[in-house]
Amino acid sequence: MYAVAVYSFVDRKYVLSKATVTDPCPSLLQPVEDTCNTSSVGYINTCDFENLPFDMLSDALGQQISAPNRILCTNNTYAAVAVGFPELDHTASELYVWPRQERYRGGSGTPIILRDCGQVVRPVSSIEVPTEVISSEKRHPALSGYLEITDLINHKLRYLPVPQ
């Protein structure tokens, strides 16, 4: 079942979905209850089109779980995993977030999701690398930037220097 979020002028959210799997196009409009504050998540830059394998999902979330899921990348997070999305229509999806510190939000590069190893890679400038990781004295002018590697499986964040 394919669904699209639709916003009305009265600040209510709706989902447009197919009434049956065989319908040629979505024709059923249903109201959606917003039970969480998603403003801290930010704007979605990238969304994977396949599930993270269930064993990797369990490792990433620290619990045994087998459910449809998608890795999301937003401007305010290192990564996020939507569990129950998109296949489970009538159940609440859960959003697990690895938030960025507020001063490092934004990000200049487009993230790339490496589903087979459970990582998100994003090019970042030297300014976007936290000073706790690389002090200002160690920043080299011969570097064009860094690759920010978010490892969801091993719960690590790494910065790989990229020479000019």
In tens digits, the chain (164 residues) has pLDDT values of 445 555 545 566 666 677 787 888 877 776 666 655 555 677 888 888 889 999 999 999 999 988 889 899 888 889 999 888 766 655 667 888 998 877 666 666 789 999 999 999 999 888 888 887 776 666 677 788 889 999 999 999 999 988 88
Task: Measure the N-to-C terminal CA separation of the chain; round to a whole number of Å.
Answer: 47
- Please indicate, yes or no, whether residues 100 and 125 belong to a single structural domain of this protein: yes
- Please indicate, yes or no, whether residues 4 and 60 belong to a single structural domain of this protein: no
Q: Which domain holds residue 6?
A: 1-34
pTM over 0.75: no
- Please indicate, yes or no, whether residues 121 and 108 belong to a single structural domain of this protein: yes
- Please indicate, yes or no, whether residues 30 and 58 belong to a single structural domain of this protein: no
- Please indicate, yes or no, whether residues 124 and 138 belong to a single structural domain of this protein: yes
**Other beta carbons less than 10 A from residue 90's beta carbon:** 6
- Please indicate, yes or no, whether residues 148 and 127 belong to a single structural domain of this protein: yes
Q: Total structural domains in the chain?
A: 2
- Please indicate, yes or no, whether residues 21 and 5 belong to a single structural domain of this protein: yes
Name the amino acid, one letter, at 56.
M
- Please indicate, yes or no, whether residues 87 and 100 belong to a single structural domain of this protein: yes
- Please indicate, yes or no, whether residues 2 and 53 belong to a single structural domain of this protein: no
- Please indicate, yes or no, whether residues 22 and 48 belong to a single structural domain of this protein: no
- Please indicate, yes or no, whether residues 25 and 58 belong to a single structural domain of this protein: no
- Please indicate, yes or no, whether residues 83 and 127 belong to a single structural domain of this protein: yes
CB of 56 closer than 8 Å to CB of 118 = yes
DSSP per position, 14-30: EEEE-SSTT-SS--EEE
